[in-house]
Amino acid sequence: MTTPSAAPRFFYVDVFARHPLSGNPLVVVPDADELPVPQMQAIAREFNQSETTFIVEPDLEGADWQLRSFTPIGAEVGGAGHNALGACLWLAQTRLPRDRERFVQQIGADLIPVLIDRRDDGVVVSMDQAPPKFGDVVRDRSELAASLGIGVGDLAPEDAVVVDTGAGHLLAPLRSSEVVDRVQPDPARLSAVLRDVDGEGCYVYSLESGREVAAYARFFNPTMGIAEDPATGTAAGPLAARLVADGVVPDGSTVVIEQGHATGRPSFLSISVAGDLVRLSGGGLVVADGTLHL
């Protein structure tokens, strides 16, 4: 890490994007060791993105860097999702040695392996998530449907279940992509549903066939102050693990999930699942930079 200046720099990274101004936008603030947590939270409120990620020195042995990410309401998030992947993309393009592929990042108390793949068309970052853990199932399907602003008949026959590969999200299968597009959550009711099953956010999705993607999804996290997230790595990993566990795709598969159309930010998330190994991969672009005058 370099010595931070009196005026910290920031960078906008479009994560899981195939071209600028798509994917999930992330603000990355490097060299943030001298910023106290309340100031990090205030900066996250200022940028008002799903997450703002700060790169600081690690305090666990074996880590190359540490990440701290906050939502607009000041909640700190963990897991290896778009916040971590975007920070790794920025590091790969600006600071990491080009003759090395493998690194370790610290997020909270976790050490997460990172693989940097430099290709002719850009950098792809891959990160291992935690082994999947399957949690509670929603029992009141009528209340789930009402909390999403749809009818009970719009729910797919399969259960809505919490799955965790670093963050526990409720995976709610719907009958079609048209239903996914119609979802209009009631934040208070959805928050109550999530509390009942100990879920952080809700990933609604439909299974797709005959296309490059396995599922079409949207993500809502009222418990963390996120109305809708354009691309959610910490939910895509659990969904890919569920599709393997349910036999929808074979073990050892790479699953592509499409998200973000409702927010005007098309995103494509790639997840490989082999046994307990869940690996999230994606690219992106640095699209803007600036200076914080604090």
Tell me the C-alpha to C-alpha distance, in Å, between residue 253 and each of 82, 136, 243, 244, 273.
Answer: 21, 25, 10, 8, 6
Between CA 151 and CA 160 the distance in angstroms is 15
Backbone angles phi, psi at 153, to 5 degrees: -70, -15
Rg (CA), the chain: 18
Tell me the C-alpha to C-alpha distance, in Å, between residue 36 and each of 3, 80, 98, 101, 137.
Answer: 16, 23, 32, 32, 39
Active site residues: 51
What share of residues in the chain are helix, strand, coil (percent, to 5)? 25, 40, 40
Domain 9-129+281-291's class?
alpha beta
Residue 183, CB-side half-sphere exposure with 13 Å CA sphere: 34
Query: Do the two domains 9-129+281-291 and 133-275 of this chain adopt the same fold?
Result: yes
Q: Is domain 133-275 classified as CATH 3.30.70.2190?
A: no
Query: Lowest-pLDDT range, 3-17, 97-111, 219-233, 271-285?
Result: 3-17
The predicted pLDDT at position 5 comes to 53
74 token code pair = 């000041």
41 close to 71: Cβ distance less than 8 angstroms? no
What are the pLDDT digits (tens) for 215-249?
999 999 999 889 999 999 999 999 999 999 999 99
Between CA 24 and CA 13 the distance in angstroms is 8
- Domain map (residue ranges) of the chain: 9-129+281-291, 133-275
What are the pLDDT digits (tens) for 240-292?
999 999 999 999 999 999 999 999 999 999 999 999 999 999 999 999 999 99
Can you give the pTM of this predicted structure?
A: 0.89
What are the pLDDT digits (tens) for 22-44?
999 999 999 999 999 999 999 99
